[in-house]
Amino acid sequence: MMHILVTLLLVACHSIPTTWAVTCTGCVDLDELSFQKTVERFPYSIVKFDIAYPYGEKHEAFTAFSKSAHKATKDLLIATVGVKDYGELENKALGDRYKVDDKNFPSIFLFKGNADEYVQLPSHVDVTLDNLKAFVSANTPLYIGRDGCIKEFNEVLKNYANIPDAEQLKLIEELKAKQEQLTDPEQQQNARAYLIYMRKIHEVGYDFLEEETKRLLRLKAGKVTEAKKEELLRKLNILEVFRVHKVTKTAPEKEEL
């Protein structure tokens, strides 16, 4: 009997994909009993219907989105529903309610305060971090930008590299005042990065953006910890805010020695 049990266990282990990723950091697992009550407690909910034990790039993208969303807002529930087409068919009725295609998982829905008002991520749209952010931004007033970015800063810094020096200095003072009002330590650190880049572009010109981007990418490609990689990525994301389609402002003249 023991031999049979061991054999079955080994077969089961070999049948599980090596890339199996069960957990989704920050996600709430919902089922047929908890679904409606939970969704209706939040202004907005994004829910991924998938196989019971999801893995792969799409699941990883949803997990990455969950991490970003938790930093950006408290008004969005990020949840998953595992649908089984075997055994007791757990959550299959819930999937049927929303016409989930179990041959084309995952299906992602955005609910707006109740279980009957929702939009679905179009099936032709790839499940990526950026597409999930765009999906939420297009259908809600919520802002989930790139990690490190601050919405209020982004809005006033469009075309910063091309505006006159006096306007640049004025913006630096305005955003410095806003930075001092921030209470979240991570946002304070991100705001400091904005201000550093604003001053550098004011002093050196647009060339700074290109050179700094190359420098940060070299550091990120080197042997650094995951925490350092995340910090460098946030800085790269902030740098992208300053990128313009066309530079129309003349770079400051370098003083001769």
For residue 236, the domain's CATH number is 1.20.1150.12
Whether residue 89 sits in one domain with residue 42: yes
Looking at the structure, do residues 119 and 36 belong to the same domain, yes or no?
A: yes
In a domain, residue 51? The reply is yes
Q: Is residue 180 part of a domain?
A: yes
The whole-angstrom separation of Cα 168 and Cα 240 is 17
What distance lies between CA 116 and its chain's CA centroid? 26
Domain boundary among 104, 139, 174: 139
For 9, the token pair is 């266990």
Within this chain, do residues 184 and 126 fall inside the same structural domain, yes or no? no
* CATH code at position 68: 3.40.30.10
Q: Within 87-225, where are the H helices?
A: 92-97, 129-139, 151-156, 165-181, 185-204, 207-221
Contacts of 241 (CB under 8 A, 6+ apart): 149, 153, 154, 157, 194
My answer on whether omega of the bond before 164 falls inside 30° of 0, hence cis, is no
The residue type found at 254 is: K
Side-chain-side CA neighbours of 61 within 13 Å: the count stands at 14
In a domain, 195, yes or no: yes
| In a domain? residue 23 | no
pLDDT of residue 19: 41
Range of the domain at 115: 28-139
Can you read off the two tokens belonging to residue 171? 């913006």
What pLDDT does 249 receive?
84
Are 103 and 37 found together in one domain? yes
pLDDT score at 255: 53
Clarify whether residues 89 and 122 are in a common domain. Answer: yes
Give pLDDT tens digits along the chain (257 positions). Answer: 444 443 333 334 333 343 444 589 999 999 999 999 999 999 999 999 999 999 999 999 999 999 999 988 899 999 999 999 888 899 999 999 999 998 889 999 999 999 999 999 998 899 999 899 989 988 999 988 888 899 899 989 989 999 999 999 999 999 999 999 999 898 999 999 999 999 999 999 999 999 999 999 999 999 999 999 989 999 999 999 999 888 888 766 655 54
Does 81 share its domain with 50?
yes
Examine the domain organization and report whether 155 and 114 are in the same domain: no
Question: How many domains, in total, are found in the chain?
Answer: 2
Distance CA 257, CA 247 (A): 27
Which residue, 139, 171, 205, sits at the end of a domain? 139
Neighbouring CB atoms inside 10 A of 84's CB total 15
Residue 257 covered by a domain: no
